[in-house]
Structure 1
């Protein structure tokens, strides 16, 4: 869609309308409206179906957000959950947006991943880790997501599903987000793109298919036997392990 929209702009059209039901397209349209503002007057989306159909003026959204936040938007959207990157259970994009506004320093990290990144610098990972810490606990003063996991689990009795990911899992999550937002969406208006292997960006091969590489840590059942309990009423023979 963005390739066709970009081509329309090259042909001199200044008003464009796209029909979609995909939130990802909204994000890309806002980015395109921001980047091509000099040759674009209006970029409208017809979003949804039937009675839920509405019109979205992405050029107005881009103007309201400003050039920096509009450019960083795809990375924010990917990290907080999209079609190819998992969401943070129990935490909404609305809450993530509030965290972004409260921690504007993360914008620089988003921008570093917005266009075909070659690597994930330690400084970027550290800033994004702090962003996730605040996402889960806005009053936290720590910068280590593993420390926060321990604190929330022991002090606030959170379920495992609602704990933040480990740092090892978060790094793979950020890689998948960078691949989607930087390499794929970063070339959304280009007809023929060059992509690196997804296996270098948080994915792994399983036969002929790709699966997320969730973490580089070993399974807890194999590394922490002391945390495993069973329902044996008599002496356990060890088979439960």
Structure 2
């Protein structure tokens, strides 16, 4: 079978991890199993080693890169990340980055889409990073372990309004109407709904999942079921919205 099919089976995947760990231990290599977020475990282990000696993290995952950049200490010894295409000195990058951007990286990465969170349609990572100063207040709420759900939901909606360039709108729902009217007034063809900002309802669950991921990257484990996820037989499944996609009277005539 293909590698993808083989690793899609959780039992196969765990057995393969156990086999690798066993062989590496026999070769006198230190092995640690991550019970939670593996990316966070890799990052914190690397940061611990970097305090004492030159350290290289070999990975292709952008999540690992963001975590290393955020958590790296500028006093660390030579600390690098190696990918198949390039080698980056994390220590040098941490020294040169604006502290405001460095402190907001985890929020910006999770909120604009990562392994466990959705990516807002048509919004690129670079465009979000460029708005880090405008998103400072929202970032501070998502980075705080003591923020309430109400604060997170409001900050998440404000962040999406900034990201979509709808700062004059009071809510995402009103921003959707404004954007739709603008596009219909100038479009020569069908206006795709996905090009509009998300609804306020959908934004709540996106914000919950982003906060859950940011806190996990900060070492604060929260119950996923309380933060935008529901349990299914195959594992966790994201809650997309609590309201119907359209009024009942409209859904009855649509085919």
Task: Give the shorter-chain TM-score range.
Answer: 0.7 to 0.9
Match of 1:30 among 54, 69, 83: 69
The whole-number CA distance in structure 2 between the counterparts of 1:131 and 1:200 is 21
Structure 2 partner of 1:128: 156
User: Would you say the 8 A contact 1:84–1:180 is kept in 2?
Assistant: yes
1:181 paired with 2:209, answer no
Q: How many residues align?
A: 208
Tell me how far 1:64 sits from its aligned partner. Answer: 2.2
User: Would you say the 8 A contact 1:129–1:143 is kept in 2?
Assistant: no
Structure 1 partner of 2:122: 90
The whole-number CA distance in structure 2 between the counterparts of 1:42 and 1:202 is 39
List per-residue Cα deviations over 1:155-204 (Å, max 9, x = no partner): 2134111111111111110110111111x1112xxxxxx62210100101
1:3 paired with 2:30, answer no
The whole-number CA distance in structure 2 between the counterparts of 1:107 and 1:126 is 14
Structure 1 partner of 2:241: 215
The whole-number CA distance in structure 1 between the counterparts of 2:228 and 2:110 is 13
User: Would you say the 8 A contact 1:176–1:202 is kept in 2?
Assistant: yes
Length-normalised TM-score, structure 2 = 0.73
The whole-number CA distance in structure 2 between the counterparts of 1:17 and 1:131 is 34
1:99 paired with 2:131, answer yes
SS in structure 2 at match of 1:18 = strand
Structure 1 partner of 2:80: 44
Q: Which has the higher contact order (CA 8 A, sep 6+)?
A: 1
Tell me how far 1:134 sits from its aligned partner. Answer: 2.6
Distance 1:72 1:99, change over 3 A: closer
List per-residue Cα deviations over 1:198-225 (Å, max 9, x = no partner): 01001011235211011121342xx342
Distance 1:156 1:109, change over 3 A: same
Question: Unaligned stretches of 5+ in structure 1?
Answer: 188-193, 231-239
Question: Unaligned stretches of 5+ in structure 2?
Answer: 1-41, 185-190
1:225 paired with 2:249, answer yes
The whole-number CA distance in structure 1 between the counterparts of 2:164 and 2:94 is 28
- The root-mean-square deviation of aligned C-alpha atoms, in Å, is 2.2
